[in-house]
Amino acid sequence: MAADEPEDLNCRNASRLLSLACERPLNAEELRALKHHLDECLMCTNFEQQLNFLHKASRVFRTG
Partner 1 sequence: MPRASATDPRFAEIESHRPYLVRYALAQLRDGELAEEAVQEALVAALESIDGFDKRSTLRTWLTSILRFKVIDLQRRLVADRARTQYDEATVGAEHEAWLDEMFDDTGHWRSPPQAWNDPEAALEQSRFWEVFERCLGRLSSTGGRVFFKREVLGEETDVICRDEGITQSNCWVMLHRARIALRMCLEQSWFGTEAPRGR
Binding interface with partner 1 (CB under 8 A): 1, 10-13, 15-16, 19-20, 22-24, 42-44, 46-47, 49-51, 53-64
Cβ distance 3 to 9 under 8 Å? yes
- Which residue, 36 or 47, has its beta carbon nearer to partner 1? 47
The span from the CA of 14 to the CA of 3, in Å, is: 8
Supply the minimum distance, in Å, between the C-beta of residue 14 and partner 1. Answer: 9
Phi/psi-derived region of residue 32, left when phi > 0, alpha when psi is between -120 and 50, beta in every other case: alpha
Supply the minimum distance, in Å, between the C-beta of residue 32 and partner 1. Answer: 18
